[in-house]
Amino acid sequence: MTPTPNGRVALVTGASRGIGRAIALGLARDGFDVVVNDIERQREPLEAVVAEIAALGRRGIAAFADVADRAQVQAMVAGAIAETGRIDAVVNNAGILITGTVEELPEQSWDAVMDVNAKGTFLVVQALLPHMRERGYGRIVNIASIGGKHGAPEQAHYSASKAAIMGFTRVLAQEVGPLGITANCVCPGIIVTDMGRTNLEEKAVADRWIANTAMRRLGQPEDVVGPACFLASDAAAFVTGQSLNVCGGIVLS
């Protein structure tokens, strides 16, 4: 990866495990100090990620907040800026998946998924923008999903939340481009994590995903790291408003 000038700081939400953890460690390897966020319930694994960042020679800071809660997000961002002096890059990774058909989905499940995935991304970005505007610099990386482009049965609300993130990011890129800030999405395919296993409960289903993937394998969290770190780096200075599929070739566009 492109070496990151010393002292840069990134914020990664939902970083206690899975894709968020892998990206946080990838950013640390690239030279960022990393503020890692998750919900209070994930205290122990999040603190383990902080220790892993320290072992890489960078500073890790745990920041507990529910990204769907405006007051908690505002406090987290203010606290992170007060402690580090700067946030150069944010990776909005926190997300949830609840399955259910459109016909049977409880309204609360729709709201919960939209609140964390779509509103959570908006709230974190909104809280950070004054700081990024002031500095005339920012890298915003939103983790969407190929589910937002294609989707699978029983995930209509999840797909809608990820499509919302992409639409949000396209307009955000136009608003913040003149300020020296880029905004892009990464759209992972089927990645083996706690969430990813929801798509892989039956072997036949996993086999079908593999057969439909050009690379003929499932993704690992590490597969998402390079693309996310690229979009968070200076190397991606002229890339904005894009949604990059990182799916081994399930969606070919």
Ligand X SMILES: NC(=O)c1ccc[n+]([C@@H]2O[C@H](COP(=O)([O-])OP(=O)(O)OC[C@H]3O[C@@H](n4cnc5c(N)ncnc54)[C@H](O)[C@@H]3O)[C@@H](O)[C@H]2O)c1
Residues that bind ligand X (CB under 6 A): 13-14, 16-20, 37-39, 42, 66-68, 93-96, 116, 120, 143, 145, 188, 190-191, 193-196
CA distance 140 to 180: 11
Catalytic residues: 158
Smallest gap from Cβ 151 to ligand X, in A, equals: 11
Closer to ligand X by Cβ: residue 14 or 26: 14
Closer to ligand X by Cβ: residue 14 or 227: 14
Pairing mode of beta strands 89-92, 181-188: unpaired
Smallest gap from Cβ 17 to ligand X, in A, equals: 5
Amino acid at 162: K
**Residue 210 contacts residue 192 (beta carbons within 8 Å):** no
Closer to ligand X by Cβ: residue 20 or 227: 20
- Rg of the chain on CA atoms, in Å: 17
CA distance 100 to 154: 4
Smallest gap from Cβ 199 to ligand X, in A, equals: 6
Closer to ligand X by Cβ: residue 47 or 133: 47
Distances in Å between the Cα of 227 and the Cα atoms of 42, 79, 97, 245 are 26, 28, 22, 9
Q: What is the DSSP letter of 216?
A: S
Closer to ligand X by Cβ: residue 31 or 188: 188
Site of tokens 């319930």: 41
- Where b means 16+ CB within 10 Å and e means fewer, 103-135 reads eebeeebbebbbbbbbbbbbbbbebbbebbeee
Distances in Å between the Cα of 14 and the Cα atoms of 1, 92, 142, 215 are 23, 8, 12, 27
User: 81 in the Ramachandran plot: left (φ > 0), alpha (ψ -120 to 50) or beta?
Assistant: alpha
Smallest gap from Cβ 109 to ligand X, in A, equals: 14
Site of tokens 């949000």: 168
